[in-house]
Amino acid sequence: MLYILLLIISLALSVQSHSFHQSKFFNSSNWITGSLYQTSFNITSYFDLKEENNKLVEDNKKLRQALYNIGIKDTVAMDTTAINYKVISGQVIKNSYSNNRNYITINKGKKDSIKQDMGVITDKGILGIIENTSSKYASVQSVLNQHSNINAKIKNTDHFGSLIWNAKGYATVQLIDIPRLVPLTIGDTIVTGAMSSIFPENIPIGTIKEFNLDTSKSFYTIDVTLFNDMTNLKNIYIIVNPNRKEILELEKETITNDQH
């Protein structure tokens, strides 16, 4: 039966998706889908230009304020080996937030030296991690994805946990594995932690909306309201950590040495 065969094929493809990484082939960053979304983005992007410009001006204002308060240095470091993070800008050409596994497509790809497992943020906060790339496009695993698992901590402390999503609502994500001895207050800010080689430390994520102890009664499960409005995304920044390879190699080496 053809039907049974096709059903098995589709189920096989779907089961594959339950593993850690999305299939290399079936994603919206490939050439056909990417260029269709780009065309549609080129047309629709005019409609909210004004609003987007205001956002960018606001962001510039904030950055300048921060810059003037640090005091401008008279020389800018040009030595690229000393730089910890590089930032590449891009635009969202396909957004999704109503599924259980949401992927966002952006218009930067291998050609712009985007690779898998780079962090993606907006001016307000964290967005996701690069999952797949084609030459001109990349798909991003959004924080609103059941596979998403990002290191996060409570601002100004070093208590860290994992940021996950329970697929209930696009405005909140969950922070788990925070020990119960940590004092928490509703409204506290959650930022990215230092344990990840993907995101720099202290990128804003959201604020605490509600917290409860989990079933083991020793860890908190915290509902976090995102700073980002996930339904309205356009300009994004991709964070490149040139040291990531070195960190990963070191970690791998340590583990292999440990086993001997």
Partner 1 sequence: MINTNFFINILRFTLLVLVQVIVFNRLNFFGFINPMVYILFLYWFPIKENRVAFIGLSFLLGLSIDFFSDTMAFHAAATATIAYLRPAIMRFVFGINLEFQSFKLGNATKAQQITFLALLIIVHHFVFFTLEIFSFSNMLLILKKVFATGLATLILCMLFNTLFSVEKE
Q: Where on the chain is the footprint of partner 1 (CB under 8 A)?
A: 2-3, 6-7, 9-14, 16-18, 22-23, 26-28, 30, 32-33, 36-37, 40, 94-103, 105, 139, 167-170, 231
Q: How far is the CB of 199 from partner 1 (least distance, A)?
A: 22
257, amino acid identity: N
Closer CB to partner 1, 51 or 201, in the complex:
51
Q: How far is the CB of 137 from partner 1 (least distance, A)?
A: 12
| DSSP 8-state class, residue 180 | T
Closer CB to partner 1, 13 or 83, in the complex:
13
Among residues 116, 220, 135, the alpha carbon closest in space to that of 177 is found at: 220
Q: How far is the CB of 98 from partner 1 (least distance, A)?
A: 4
Q: How far is the CB of 40 from partner 1 (least distance, A)?
A: 5
Q: How far is the CB of 33 from partner 1 (least distance, A)?
A: 5
Q: Which residue has the tokens 């405005």?
A: 171
DSSP bridge pairs for 120:
128, 238
| DSSP 8-state class, residue 148 | -
Closer CB to partner 1, 94 or 153, in the complex:
94
- CB atoms inside a 10 Å sphere around CB 110: 14
Q: How far is the CB of 153 from partner 1 (least distance, A)?
A: 29
In angstroms, rounded to a whole number, what is the distance separating the alpha carbons of residues 169 and 172? 6
| DSSP 8-state class, residue 17 | H
Closer CB to partner 1, 140 or 175, in the complex:
140
With beta carbons less than 8 A apart as the criterion, state whether 203 and 236 touch.
no
In angstroms, rounded to a whole number, what is the distance separating the alpha carbons of residues 96 and 102? 6
In angstroms, rounded to a whole number, what is the distance separating the alpha carbons of residues 248 and 252? 6
- CB atoms inside a 10 Å sphere around CB 11: 10
Closer CB to partner 1, 39 or 218, in the complex:
39
Closer CB to partner 1, 39 or 89, in the complex:
39
Closer CB to partner 1, 193 or 206, in the complex:
206
In angstroms, rounded to a whole number, what is the distance separating the alpha carbons of residues 132 and 110? 10
| DSSP 8-state class, residue 145 | E
Q: How far is the CB of 126 from partner 1 (least distance, A)?
A: 19
